[in-house]
RNA sequence: GGUCCCAUCGUCUAUCGGUUAGGACACAUGGUUUUCAUCCAUGAAAGAGGGGUUCGAUUCCCCUUGGGACCGCCA
């Protein structure tokens, strides 16, 4: 059996994390089922659709490694086809022109509101042969929705869903300017693209009932539906663009790496036994509809950070360094070429104390910055004894021909003995002089990561 | 308000009638360490409430409560 699915965002704002997850689920399922995953840009809202958002959506997905089959499908290019289908529906008696003015509709809505009953279009023009057609009104085309009976959708995630047809109104498929609405366009395109599985957010449930009627009316094969629960913000509401940290860019900005976000999103609302970390292959092999939960899940920043931390540690130094380079070039000041070699070598220990690329960058400031700034609290810790220790260290350090940890250890040890102190007594002043803070990477890592002249320069500066 | 849906630690979740209700994140405590971290160990932490069904319910059914989605000539 073939498996074609799609992700169909509208370019009316930056893609948020919920959309990304929907795309991920689609993509994973396509891979697993050896099917195809398409990207369709639903830009039929001319007012709000923006080219920049389209680009942002595509680049966000690419960043995560979600690649669609072929070119992205631009919905607006297929409008004439949508209109043809609408005309076809009219011919077949499944749609009709509605000449209600906007005022008339609004009046109805007001009236319903006052009476406290739900507004449903009153189907005035559904079978209105003897009604006088107003000359000054451009009609909309409405779909002749079923009045009685029930519609059942066997949802791959939600299970069997049953709705009374009477609750679905005669929805508009062509606006007064003859442009198609979402319900029509999406259905026609899904059919034309031979989509077999429509996997989308739970908020589309009702649309599936409407769209199924269009499929049936046209005599088209109805695809399988899967409605995945939405992601909620920390406030417990459907995620919106206004929630902070909801767009992909918010995560890229703080230095989350793609693999980590992919893993986080995968496990948000889906699970496989007790497994938490899934590499790409495992995600594809193990992902399925069955493991998707039915209730919405909340975004948890500390979890994202934790998974990112895990991935940072698992990532090879070279790869991680490239991530860092890309990150820095996008969000921070450029790094001196000469420092890059040192940074590359330092990845192996820098990654052990960071949750994000930004953390790595911050912890690497002592390498990146030409001049280190010692904060005023820490400078106080450099007393006369400290200076004496640093001086002694300099003397010994200068003598070392090949700088290794093995060569440094005896030096430090002898200083501890000589000054009757402990590691901290020796280590802290050195770290402050070299890093500018009493916090930082391991002392040996620090000393070995910097050039010999740089170490001497910094140490001499303080004594 | 109407329609539909959901309900296990704070969070993500496991359990597909019988478990000391498991794991992960976060949190707390202790240990290792070279500071901060890491790492290791330990701990606290959950079946919303009420009825059924059953020998036995977190699990199946109903009600209540709580939460959510939808209700556009937006998608």
CA angle A73, A79, A82 (to 5 degrees): 105
Q: How far is CA A249 from CA A57, A62, A246, A254, A331, in A?
A: 10, 12, 8, 9, 11
Q: What are all long-range contacts of A316-324, with beta carbons under 8 Å and residues at least 24 apart?
A: A317/A344, A317/A347, A317/A348, A317/A351, A318/A344, A318/A347, A320/A347, A320/A351, A320/A360, A321/A347, A323/A257, A323/A357, A324/A357, A324/A360, A324/A361
Taking the C1' atom of every nucleotide in all shown strands and the CA of A271, the nearest one is B13
Note the ipTM here: 0.95
Sheet holding A197-201, edge to edge: A73-74, A36-41, A4-7, A197-201, A224-228
Round and report the angstrom distance from CA (A262) to C1' (B9): 25
pLDDT tens digits for range A39-91? 999 999 988 999 999 999 999 999 999 999 999 999 999 999 999 999 999 99
Mean pLDDT across chain A, nearest whole number?
A: 92
Residue A136's pLDDT band, with cuts at 50, 70 and 90, is confident
Q: Is the pLDDT of residue A459 over 90?
A: no
pLDDT tens digits for range A150-165? 999 999 999 999 999 9
Confidence at residue A88, expressed as pLDDT on a 0 to 100 scale: 97
For residue A66, the SS3 value is coil
Tell me which residues from 7 to 26 on chain A have a beta carbon below 7 angstroms from nucleic acid strand B.
8-10, 12
Q: Is the pLDDT of residue A202 over 80?
A: yes
pTM score, whole prediction: 0.94
Instruction: Please list the alpha-helical segments (H only) found in A75-162.
Output: 79-91, 102-115
Cβ of residue A268 lies below 7 Å from strand B: yes
The dihedral through the CA atoms of A363, A365, A368, A370 has a sign that is: negative
Residue A123's pLDDT band, with cuts at 50, 70 and 90, is confident
Tell me which residues from 157 to 176 on chain A have a beta carbon below 7 angstroms from nucleic acid strand B.
158-159, 161-164, 167, 171-172, 175-176
pLDDT tens digits for range A245-285? 789 999 999 999 999 999 999 999 999 999 999 999 999 99
Q: How many Å apart are CA A323 and CA A435, to the nearest integer?
A: 24
- Strands A172-174 and A224-228, sheet pairing: unpaired
Cβ of residue A108 lies below 7 Å from strand B: no
A54-70 core/surface letters (b: 16 or more CB in 10 A; e: else)? bebbbebbebbebebbe
Lowest mean pLDDT among A51-55, A119-123, A137-141, A248-252: A119-123
Confidence at residue A176, expressed as pLDDT on a 0 to 100 scale: 92
Residue A318, Cβ density class (10 Å: 0-12 exposed, 13-18 middle, ≥19 buried): exposed
Q: What percent of chain A has pLDDT over 70?
A: 100
Rg (C-alpha) for chain A, rounded Å, is 31
Sheet holding A172-174, edge to edge: A95-98, A140-143, A172-174
CA angle A409, A391, A418 (to 5 degrees): 55
Q: What mean pLDDT comes out for the span A188-198?
A: 98
Confidence at residue A379, expressed as pLDDT on a 0 to 100 scale: 80
Confidence at residue A307, expressed as pLDDT on a 0 to 100 scale: 97
Confidence at residue A18, expressed as pLDDT on a 0 to 100 scale: 93
Please report which helix (H) or strand (E) contains residue A172, including its range: strand A172-174
Q: Is the pLDDT of residue A175 over 90?
A: yes
Residue A95's pLDDT band, with cuts at 50, 70 and 90, is very high
Round and report the angstrom distance from CA (A179) to C1' (B20): 64
Residue A206's pLDDT band, with cuts at 50, 70 and 90, is very high
Q: Of A4, A163, A189, whose CA–CA distance to A84 is shortest?
A: A189
Note whether A255 and A22 are within 8 A (CB): no
CA angle A341, A342, A348 (to 5 degrees): 105
Taking the C1' atom of every nucleotide in all shown strands and the CA of A174, the nearest one is B73
For residue A308, the SS3 value is helix
Note whether A214 and A143 are within 8 A (CB): yes
Between the two ends of chain A, the Cα-to-Cα distance in Å is 76
pLDDT tens digits for range A410-436? 899 889 888 888 888 899 899 999 998
Tell me which residues from 137 to 156 on chain A have a beta carbon below 7 angstroms from nucleic acid strand B.
140
pLDDT tens digits for range A124-133? 888 877 778 8
Note whether A165 and A149 are within 8 A (CB): yes
Round and report the angstrom distance from CA (A355) to C1' (B28): 22
Taking the C1' atom of every nucleotide in all shown strands and the CA of A355, the nearest one is B37
Lowest mean pLDDT among A269-278, A291-300, A321-330, A392-401: A392-401
- For the residues of A286-307, what is the DSSP string, one character each? H--STTB-SS-EE--HHHHHHH
């Amino acid at each position: 059996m073939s498996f074609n699915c799609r992700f169909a965002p509208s370019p009316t704002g930056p893609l948020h994390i919920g959309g990304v997850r929907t795309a991920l689920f689609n993509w994973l399922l396509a891979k697993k089922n050896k099917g195809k995953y398409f990207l369709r840009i639903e830009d039929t809202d001319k007012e709000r659709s923006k080219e920049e958002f389209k680009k942002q959506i595509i680049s966000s997905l690419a960043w995560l490694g979600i690649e669609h089959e072929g070119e992205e499908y631009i919905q607006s290019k297929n409008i004439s086809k949508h209109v043809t289908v609408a005309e076809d529906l009219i011919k077949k008696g499944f749609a009709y022109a509605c000449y209600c003015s906007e005022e008339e509709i609004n009046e109805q809505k007001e009236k319903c509101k006052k009476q406290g009953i739900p507004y449903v279009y009153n189907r005035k023009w559904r079978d209105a042969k003897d009604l006088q057609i107003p000359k000054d009104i451009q009609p909309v085309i409405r779909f002749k929705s079923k009045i009685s009976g029930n519609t059942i959708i066997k949802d791959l995630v939600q299970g069997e869903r049953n709705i009374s047809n009477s609750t679905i109104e005669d929805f508009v498929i062509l606006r007064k300017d003859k442009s198609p609405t979402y319900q029509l366009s999406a259905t026609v395109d899904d059919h034309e693209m031979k989509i077999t599985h429509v996997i989308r957010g739970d908020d589309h449930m009702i649309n599936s009932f409407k769209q199924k009627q269009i499929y049936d009316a046209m005599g088209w094969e109805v695809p399988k539906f899967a409605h995945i629960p939405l992601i909620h913000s920390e406030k417990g509401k459907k995620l919106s663009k206004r929630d902070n940290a909801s767009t992909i860019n918010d995560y890229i900005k703080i230095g989350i790496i793609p693999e980590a976000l992919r893993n986080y999103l995968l496990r948000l609302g889906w699970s496989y036994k007790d497994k938490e970390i899934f590499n790409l292959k495992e995600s594809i092999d193990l992902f399925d509809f069955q493991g998707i939960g039915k209730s919405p899940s909340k975004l948890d920043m500390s979890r994202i950070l934790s998974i990112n931390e895990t991935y940072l540690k698992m990532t090879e130094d070279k790869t991680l360094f490239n991530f860092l380079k890309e990150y820095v070039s996008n969000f921070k000041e450029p790094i001196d070429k000469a420092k890059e070699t040192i940074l590359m070598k330092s990845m192996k220990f820098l990654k052990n104390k960071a949750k994000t690329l930004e953390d790595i960058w911050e912890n690497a400031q002592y390498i990146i910055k030409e001049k280190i700034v010692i904060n005023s609290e820490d400078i106080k810790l450099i007393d006369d004894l400290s200076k004496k220790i640093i001086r002694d260290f300099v003397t010994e350090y200068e003598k070392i021909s090949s700088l290794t940890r093995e060569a440094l250890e005896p030096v430090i040890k002898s200083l501890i003995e000589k000054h009757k102190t402990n590691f901290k007594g020796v280590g802290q002043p050195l770290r402050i002089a070299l890093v500018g803070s009493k916090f930082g990477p391991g002392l040996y890592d620090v000393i070995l990561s910097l050039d010999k002249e740089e170490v001497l320069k910094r140490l001499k500066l303080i004594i």
